Structure 1
Amino acid sequence: MLRRSAALLPLALAAVLAAGCAPVERAAETPSPASPSSDASSPTPTPTPNLEPVRAFDGDCDQMLTIEQRDELLGAGSITVAEQMALWEPERPVPVGADPVGTAGGLACTWYAAEGSEPAAGVRNLTTMVLPAAAVTNEIAAAYSVAFCEPNYDASACRLGVRVGDDWVSATVGSEVYEAPEELLSAAVEAVSRNLASATKPRPADRTDQTWSIPDCVELGEAIGLEDIVGPYRHGYWEGSEQPEDVLFASAGIARTCPMFSDSERLDYNTHDFRILSPLVAPGLGWQWNQLRTGAAETAVAVEVAGAADSFGVDPGYGSVRVFATDGTNIASMWSQDAEVAAEVLSRMLTALSR
């Protein structure tokens, strides 16, 4: 129910030979040894799947937009996400996050304007993204072909997306932007598009029999018996709402977040704590496992997830742990104040999604 086969069925060609010649008298000949029939030739081997995607711009944000282009868009002194996080919390290592965009061969990069710089009203950051156009539904492409803004918790972001050949290029600005800066968004898309013309083109990782399908969150919660672990719960966001990127990634088959939270009206606080959960399902993200492992080395903690090929936790010191688990092809992860609860939820997810 929660798994879709991606195997390709081989095609067989059959040839029928017919002869219609009149009989002719001829001298007896010694028969020649029979040669193998072409119909008995060995079958064509199944191509080895490409489990590693080929990423736009080779996965390099500096190729997507040069420093000069970023400064032209955001103002002099623009900085990367890692540089911004280091300014906010210089004592903490910069974490490596799950990157489902890469599974589709795409690349998403974010930069921040320098302190005191505001290229347009309310704009503090810029994200540009490239995906194969085939990964973007017609509805999403049409919706963001014109720049407009949408709320995100207590902030707002504005987006624009344009098809460029076989690819789709988008730009997003935040954090308190309530009127779309069309000139800035268009300039960002145009700059990325110019660079893309001579860059590595994206190629998704191949799907296999082991690649999960995107689950229905309600069905997934029931399949794993989530209420047995956390008590009564409700689906949806405790605060905020689903963002366009969430819809895009789910429709592309590369990621789905299933937000859930305890149902306070039915919860027995003597037996269960109030929890806010957002487990991530990332089909085909196994290609990033080593990067996640290496990037989390400074804050990694041992967490065993039953049934996983490998698992670990990341403890950044906020009082909660993010647990990652993989079956070798796919990745699931979840934040929780209780690593054991996260491990149990993820273990059941791996079983349910692999059926």
Structure 2
Amino acid sequence: MGSLRLRRSFRAAAAVLVTTFVLAGCASTPAAQPAPAPSSSLPDATPPPTPEATGPVAAFGGACENVLTSEQAVSILGAGAMEKEAWFEEVSSPAAGRLQSLPITTLGGIECEWVAAEGAELPEGMSSISIVALPADAVVEVDFTEAFCEPSYDAVNCRMSRAHDGVWLMARAGWYLESAPVEQLDAALTAAAANLASFPPPVASVRDAAWWELPSCDDVAAGIRLTELLRADFHSGFWEGSPQPEHKLLDDAGVLRLCPWSTDVTHLAPEDPSHIVTLEIMPGAAVWWDDVVTHPSASPVTIAGAEEGIIVNNRDVLATDGVNVLRVYSGDAHEDDSGLIVPLAERALAVLNGS
């Protein structure tokens, strides 16, 4: 899961001072009586308390350079380490940059990754380190206080977590590790924890009635008539690999439901292509929509039922109804999958909005 910077607007309240002028009459009126002595019970001059933030307020101010400084990243990964967005721009065309959906931001969280330079002296198989930060009360049933490694597609990632001042921090090391690099994981967590005090604590968005409820993937597949779209039966679940702890965490928190599907090629007509498609349902995620639409390869696209939609590289669609966000993307090598993912997005929006 990658990173994008969260943009926030803060509205300042303006105080209006109203002064009333009283004009006196002419000399024919009786002399004015002395004004009464001021009352000893003066109004309370203490300003009202600042309302509690309703969220989201991003951890570390929403910026990866606040999570780990460049010096801290270098101390963990060695000389030449850089934040992944900068690394990606260096090794690829910026216009081909990754389109990231970040439901973690809905929880007031942030996820950042740093990549080691080639040849860095690190434990065998380690090439990067990531930090995930969330309000501690948003995290349930995910605990890596002891370092733990597990496969992810063709990689093995190792994770370790701790809570600090009401913030849950998780460090993740990759790429193909035989054992947990405890020294680097611990150093990353310690450095991030030390930086927390410089920024406001994270706050999750407050759920309201306009947020989608998370339906089961089977119910969505039936509602959008997925067999009709794929022109074949399909498999539910990852084509390869497995759900990661971050997916479970966001699903348990009610901000992401990931639905991966793939064509059952055993019942595919010879003239029809196979497909791997993934649907991401993200209640309340429109809070970070402005960050998504600025992607260098994003183009506007009309999606029935959406307030706004974008498409990237003809294989990645996001749509919002102004509160929630839906993403559909293809894992195929076809040059243009818009004829599949746009109708799929439109049908999914209709299902989610009960129309």
For normalisation by structure 2, the TM-score amounts to 0.79
Q: Which residue is 1:86 aligned to? A: 89
Q: 2 CA distance for matches of 1:302 and 1:69?
A: 39
| Shift, 1:52, TM fit | 5.3
| Shift, 1:58, TM fit | 0.8
3-state DSSP of counterpart to 2:262? strand
Q: Which residue is 1:305 aligned to? A: 303
Q: 2 CA distance for matches of 1:353 and 1:61?
A: 33
Q: Which residue is 2:238 aligned to? A: 237
How many residues align? The count is 298
Q: Which residue is 1:246 aligned to? A: 247
Gaps of at least 5 residues in structure 2 are 1-50, 331-335
3-state DSSP of counterpart to 1:323? strand
3-state DSSP of counterpart to 2:266? coil
Q: Which residue is 1:331 aligned to? A: 325
Q: Which residue is 1:210 aligned to? A: 210
Q: 1 CA distance for matches of 2:85 and 2:117?
A: 13
Per-residue CA distance 1:125-183 (angstroms, 9 max, x = gap): 1100111111111x212xx1210111111111000111223221100000011200112
Q: Which residue is 1:350 aligned to? A: 349
Per-residue CA distance 1:72-102 (angstroms, 9 max, x = gap): 1111221111222123224644344111111
List aligned pairs for 1:136-175, cutoff 5 A.
136-137=139-140, 139-141=141-143, 144-175=144-175
Per-residue CA distance 1:42-93 (angstroms, 9 max, x = gap): xxxxxx9977511111101111111111111111221111222123224644
Identity %: 34
Question: Is the 1:210–1:354 Cα contact (8 Å) retained in structure 2?
Answer: no
Q: 2 CA distance for matches of 1:263 and 1:94?
A: 31
Q: 2 CA distance for matches of 1:263 and 1:77?
A: 45
Per-residue CA distance 1:284-306 (angstroms, 9 max, x = gap): 11011122112x2x322342211
Per-residue CA distance 1:266-314 (angstroms, 9 max, x = gap): 22344x42100111111111011122112x2x32234221111111211
For normalisation by structure 1, the TM-score amounts to 0.79
Residues 50/212 of structure 1: CA separation in 2 closer, same or farther (3 Å cut): farther
Residue type at the aligned position of 2:346: S
Q: 1 CA distance for matches of 2:94 and 2:106?
A: 31
| Shift, 1:120, TM fit | 2.0
Question: Is the 1:113–1:124 Cα contact (8 Å) retained in structure 2?
Answer: yes
Q: 2 CA distance for matches of 1:52 and 1:194?
A: 23
Residues 188/299 of structure 1: CA separation in 2 closer, same or farther (3 Å cut): same
In terms of mean alpha carbon deviation, does 81-90 or 68-77 score higher?
A: 81-90
List aligned pairs for 1:91-102, cutoff 5 A.
92-102=95-105
3-state DSSP of counterpart to 1:279? strand
Q: 2 CA distance for matches of 1:334 and 1:84?
A: 26
